Amino acid sequence: MSEHPTRIAVTGGLGGVGSWVVDRLADDGYDVLAIDTHTPEQHVENVRFFSADLTDAGETFDILHAFDPEAVIHLAAIPDPTAHAGTRVFSNNILSAYNVLFAAGRLGSDIVWASSESAYGFPFSESLLLPEYLPIDESHPMRPEDPYGVSKVAGESVAEMVTRRFGVQVASIRPSWVQYPGEYEVSNIRREVAVDEIEAGTKPPGSGNFWSYIDVRDLVELCVRAVEADFDGHEPYLCHAAENYMGVETARLIAALSDGTAPDLSGLSGESCAFTTQKAFDELGWEPEHTWREAESETVDGPSFI
């Protein structure tokens, strides 16, 4: 896309991340279509809300065709496999991703959608799963053992298909555990987990993604930069805060987990995240701005319509 879009559809527009994205786009003056399973009661300037079942191809194509967006940000999904039947998680996520991405591609709309770090398999593996190398980048093998992670791998395959068939660009954002200013859930884990008590080979709280996170405001910024960027084909981008949320050296944390079986730790400096976002910086000029040390106690007004 040579020029910034003016009409953007956002799925999951009333969700945790989606509502922040809709709020940001509306404030920036975009014409926004927000799609979710329900609609809010209040009016929001620059935003039209629609209710839809995105696993229904007819509803999805109907709504997107009527709005004719120049770009689509697909955020709707069941976010993890721990509170829903696995078949429901997978079928919901992959059907909605296929319907939205295919409809968007057929309309010539460029796409940003929420994949996940869970595609690598670390967060929801039954036992501790260590990376092949550190820091983890977009090229690291994806080895999910759960329906959520594999739905994201399948979704990225759909993204590849859509770019080949329709020639639109698709950015697959792979965010870490999303945190909200003043409501950082990771704070509880930091209080619960004593580094000196971690037993090698175990999977204590937070170790599934090596104690990484991302502030919702930084994730929103990456979504906006990706939707405004001009690139070819399908590109995945990791989206993580610059450091772990434990406040100790990342190499020390992973060494405690692995008992000498971890990959080379020399690429990790201090509290730096086990995942690198260098690609997002190089190609989109994005880097995380928020850290748990300030954000977990911040008072920030979120979207007013949820």
Burial per residue of 3-26, b for 16 or more beta-carbon CB atoms within 10 angstroms, e otherwise = eebeebbbbbbbbbbbbbbbbbbb
Q: How far apart are CA 90 and CA 194, in angstroms?
A: 35
Q: What is the pLDDT of residue 239?
A: 98
Q: What's the pLDDT score for residue 2?
A: 47
The pLDDT, as a whole number, for residue 38 is 95
Residue type, 46: N
State how far the Cα of 185 lies from the Cα of 176, in Å rounded to an integer.
13
What pLDDT score does 259 carry?
Answer: 79
Give the strand order in the sheet containing 110-114.
47-51, 31-36, 7-11, 71-74, 110-114, 170-175, 234-239
Q: What pLDDT score does 80 carry? A: 82
Written as one string, the DSSP assignment of 137-177 is -TTSPP---SHHHHHHHHHHHHHHHHHHHH---EEEEEE-S
Instruction: State the pLDDT at residue 306.
Output: 86
Per-residue pLDDT of the chain (306 residues; tens, 9 = 90+): 547 789 999 999 999 999 999 999 999 999 999 999 999 989 999 999 999 999 999 999 999 999 999 999 999 999 888 889 999 999 999 999 999 999 999 999 999 999 999 999 999 999 999 999 999 999 999 999 999 999 999 999 999 999 999 999 999 999 999 999 999 999 999 999 999 999 998 999 999 999 999 999 999 999 999 999 999 999 999 999 999 999 999 999 999 999 778 899 999 999 999 999 999 999 999 999 999 999 999 999 999 998
* Catalytic residue set: 148
Q: Which domains does the chain have, with CATH numbers?
A: 7-176+214-241+276-288 (3.40.50.720)
* Phi-psi group of 260: left, alpha or beta (phi > 0 → left; psi -120 to 50 → alpha; rest → beta): left
Residue (of 64, 22, 58) closest to 39 by Cα position: 22
